Structure formats: structure tokens, C-alpha cells
Amino acid sequence: MFPLQDNIPSRNPPVATISIIAANCLIFTAELSMPKETLFQVIKTLGIVPSQFTSGAWGANIYVTANSIWPFITSMFLHGSWMHIITNMWMLWIFGDNVEDRMGSFRFFIFYLLCGVFAAIAHIISNIDSAIPTIGASGAIAGVLGAYFLLFPRAQVIVFFPLFIFWPIYYILPAFVYLGIWFLMQFLNGSLSLLSDSEAIEYVAWWAHIGGFVSGIILHRFFIQSYRIRRKPYIDELSTRSAWAR
């Protein structure tokens, strides 16, 4: 179930959203130019490795602690494959501009980073002994989804179901339905990952998605600007009817 478009236009240019996407794309381009050994070392150094943060040495050594804080930021700007970065950036493009409208560009950027940090913490707590580096913007983007879930619950999202290659299925769903299903899937897979030894399940940071989404729900109210909320909303935001034929 993949989103293609929502029906809430941006009032202002999404400067922060575009900048984040551009930064991720530029960094991924640099990753592609690296030898495999160098790239692995970069991911291991700048990614989140849970076991490094749960060892006694990390908390006891101030120098080690200070230097290992950076992965909480750097990890969310690294991606492991074309599919990884395309899906993440597409989700951010669809939902990020409207949340940025409510917050303003600078506040949105700080909100995005904080959600990514809390997502990383959730991943560490749920994978205490893991030595696998975790990278990607999905935790921070999940925070954006959490904010969108409350700010635009009745927005409409075109969703693509790739059941068959030659028989695509499209639906228009209210945002709260699509994002509610998305969160439920993350929770079910995250719960399964705690009970299963399957590497395919373990290698997806389900609890980072969950932690990011919940942090977005909690934190967004501290970043929205009241004068942006008081403005007359788009008719699209108030209507439960389809707004695609306008």
C-alpha cells in the first residue's frame, strides 16, 4: 500500500522539505561513489549501532559518549539502496510540505531532527544487543506522518495497491485511515520482530518507525504556529468528499 498523492496543496514553498530531500540525495550520490569497504566503514561509524550505546564504556567515557552522539543525526541522512531512499523521500515529499506549512520551515526542520532522534532511541531500546548499523530517514519521516495524522485527518490520499503488475488497484482513503493502517502494520511487524529470529524482519527498524510516529504525535503541538492554524483552512481540509475533480 503506497501513497501517490494527497489533496492538500501547500500554501508556502516547502523550503525545509526540499532541502532535506536534496541533502539526502546528494549524500546518497556520494555513497554510490565510495568503494564498498569505505562505505561499510562510513555506515558503521555514522549509523546507529544499538550495542555501542548500551555498553558500559559508552556511558563511562565522556570522550566516547560525545563522539557517538553524532550518529543520532548522521544516520538519518544515509540510505542503503535506491528503493530505500526513493520510498523515504517520496513519503516526505507527500506529507512533509503540509506539516511544514503549519510549523514554518525552521521549526519543521528541528521537529524533523527530534523525531529522528527519538526514533533512534526507540530502536536502541528494542534492539539492545544488536551490532547491526541502522541508517535511514524513515524514523524522522514517521514523525512527520504522526503530525500529519492529527493535523490533516480528513485529507484524502490516493493509495496504490501493487497486487498484480498488470492489474494495479487504486483507492482514495482519508489520511487517518491510511496512516492508521500504516502505523498498525509497523506495530504488528515490530512486535513480530521481538518474537522472531528472522533476519528479514530484524533488518527493518520497525520500532524506529513506531517511536518516530508517536514522537510526532506528541511533539508536533510544540512546533505548530498558532497564527497558521487560525487562518481560514482550505475547503479540501474540511470536506470529506473527493477533491480530485476540481
Which range is least confidently modeled, 136-145, 217-226, 228-237? Answer: 228-237
pLDDT of residue 62: 45
Q: Mind listing the pLDDT tens digit for each residue in 65-122?
A: 545 788 999 999 999 899 999 999 999 999 999 999 999 999 999 999 999 999 999 9
Of the chain, the percentage scoring pLDDT greater than 70 comes to 81
The CATH class of 2-238 is mainly alpha
* Interatomic CA distance for residues 77 and 70, integer angstroms: 12
The domains of the chain are located at: 2-238
More confident residue, 67 or 45: 45
Average pLDDT score over residue span 173-200: 84
Average pLDDT score over residue span 182-203: 76
pLDDT of residue 180: 95
Average pLDDT score over residue span 119-130: 90
Q: Where would I find the H helices in the chain? A: 15-32, 36-46, 50-54, 56-60, 62-67, 71-74, 82-103, 105-126, 138-151, 175-195, 199-202, 206-219, 226-230, 235-238
DSSP state of 75: G
Q: Mind listing the pLDDT tens digit for each residue in 144-159?
A: 999 999 999 999 999 9
Q: CA quadruple 212, 67, 59, 44: dihedral positive or negative?
A: positive
pLDDT score of 61 more than 80: no
pLDDT of residue 171: 85
pLDDT of residue 60: 47
Q: CA quadruple 232, 223, 5, 93: dihedral positive or negative?
A: positive
Which range is least confidently modeled, 25-34, 64-73, 118-127, 184-193? Answer: 64-73
pLDDT classification of 200: cutoffs 50, 70, 90: very low
Q: Is 172 helix (H, G, I), strand (E, B) or coil?
A: strand
* Interatomic CA distance for residues 144 and 139, integer angstroms: 9
Does the pTM surpass 0.75? The reply is yes
Of the chain, the percentage scoring pLDDT greater than 90 comes to 62
